[in-house]
Amino acid sequence: MRIMLVGAGKVGRTVAEYLTREEHEVTVIDSDEDVLRRCEDTLDVLCVHGNGANAQTLIDAAVDRADILIAATADDEINMLCCLIGKRLGAKFAIARIRDPQYNESLALLQRELDIDVAVNPERTTALEISQLLRFPFASNVETFAKGQIEMVEFRAQENDAVVGVPLHALPAKYPSMPRVLYAAVEREGKVIIPTGDFILRPGDRVYVTAEMMMITKFFRFLGKGSLRVRHLMILGGGRISYYLAKFVVPMGISVTMIELDEKKAARLSEELPHVNVLCGDGTSQELLEQEGLRDMDAMICLTDRDEENLMTGIYAVRQGVPKVIVKNNRDNYADIIASMGLDSVVSPRLITSSTILRHVRAEIGGAGTKVAKLYQLLGGKAEAMEFEVQPSAPCVGIPLRDLRMRPNTLVAVIARRGKVIVPGGNDHIEVGDRVIIMACESGISDLNEVISK
């Protein structure tokens, strides 16, 4: 597939890396020659120097041959204009990164009038993911599927957890009252495993379990992990993610204290968020944090623009006994350091945006098959969870799963059917209209037919 990417910053470069890995023909446009030179040196892409919102630049880059145009610069207006001009010049599908909260209420109108097929807001999506984590403070990651019916929750197995040291197939017999969930993926010593019934969890494993929402909640209560409730939250940094997060959690009854260094930004946030206690100060100051009651907080979210500040303040919060600490980090080389210091919950707007864009790219691939409806990259991109809505053309319809051939290192995790959630066994089958969640230890899958066959 021919894909044109405008903007080779953090997000654009990450998207380009994944697209080239999946063997798409990628053209990158950027006005910074140094950025383009780095792309040329490390990626198999065609680079074009220029302004992506300039019609001549797009014409020179052959936008009329582009199956997908992705505008991912740091400027919302340039992204929108790029999509408008690109579609007029022949691009078949346009994706724009639009981040400013001022555009949020009129987003549907902007998409329609500017001919933008998909608008991606990384800050709002990141804030939504964090708000979901606050529902399960013990969890490292929470993803939702099938319009919220199904949840996939990551947690780190502890020595006293009932699920540790027992083969997965033996758990129902040993604990008859344990709510049934599916163990979708496990990371152990840097390796991702799709577990079978003989698999035995060990302390320290990062485990993904999935089931319908109420069953997941009951499961963690059974393990004794569901007692903490977040009522008091401190947010470090007053950027767009913090703004959206406050909008999400205040209606949940959570008291929010936000610390922002910039005086003008703090004053504006105080007006825009009347139910939030906005303070102007240095959130990395231990004295200020103690003064504002850090030790009494149920959760601390570090969302400044500097990963180092988020990391150091997050570690301090952990050592002060804050039960739930979440840090924003966009640097892959910090992942092992963060995990070794007790910070399990890390959010990366860059990876979240990349996953969202890749899902839409894969949904445009191929013909009338059962395409990817939702995509999450898990465990640092080592695994993927994909949602498919089954179409009449799917050859796997009506056949017991035990009689189907599965792609290696993949798993049918959950089936959602007419409001009912099924953790499937070998005798279960797939029907037209089902929403099927697939786990895979690889990337590039775009159709259910690539996973399941007769």
- pLDDT of residue 343 exceeding 80, the answer is no
- pLDDT of residue 231 exceeding 90, the answer is yes
- pLDDT of residue 410 exceeding 60, the answer is yes
pLDDT in tens, 348-374: 888 888 888 887 887 776 555 577 877
pLDDT number for residue 448: 87
CA distances in angstroms from 328 to 113, 285, 334, 346, listed in the order given: 34, 18, 11, 6
Share of the chain above pLDDT 90, in %: 58
pLDDT number for residue 54: 94
- Cα separation, 258 vs 278, in Å, equals 5
The correct CATH number of 2-120 out of 3.40.50.720, 2.70.98.40, 3.30.10.20, 3.90.1150.10 is 3.40.50.720
CATH superfamily for domain 365-453: Regulator of K+ conductance, C-terminal domain (3.30.70.1450)
Least confident of 122-126, 342-346, 445-449: 342-346
pLDDT number for residue 340: 67
What's the CATH code, domain 232-347?
3.40.50.720
pLDDT number for residue 146: 82
What average pLDDT score do residues 84-88 get?
Answer: 96
pLDDT number for residue 322: 93
- pLDDT of residue 223 exceeding 70, the answer is yes
The reply to whether domains 2-120 and 365-453 share a CATH topology is no
- pLDDT of residue 334 exceeding 80, the answer is no
Residues 6+ apart with CB under 8 A from 246: 235, 256, 258, 273, 276
Kindly state the DSSP code that residue 368 receives in the 8-state scheme. Answer: S
Average pLDDT score, the chain:
89
CA-nearest of 105, 22, 9, 112 to 353 is 9
- Cα separation, 169 vs 321, in Å, equals 36
pLDDT in tens, 275-316: 999 999 999 899 999 999 999 999 999 999 998 899 999 999
Dump the DSSP string for 179-229. Answer: PP-EEEEEEETTEEE---TT-BB-TT-EEEEEEEHHHHHHHHHHTT-----
Q: Tell me if 126 sits within 8 A of 349, measured CB to CB.
A: yes
Dump the DSSP string for 384-403. Answer: EEEEEE--TT-TTBTSBGGG
Residues in the chain: 454
Residue ranges per structural domain of the chain: 2-120, 232-347, 365-453
Query: The pTM is what?
Result: 0.79
pLDDT in tens, 377-388: 787 678 888 888
- Cα separation, 14 vs 355, in Å, equals 10
Task: Select, from the ranges 260-264, 374-378, 420-424, the one with the highest average predicted confidence (pLDDT).
Answer: 260-264
Backbone angles phi, psi at 336, to 5 degrees: -65, -40
pLDDT number for residue 81: 95
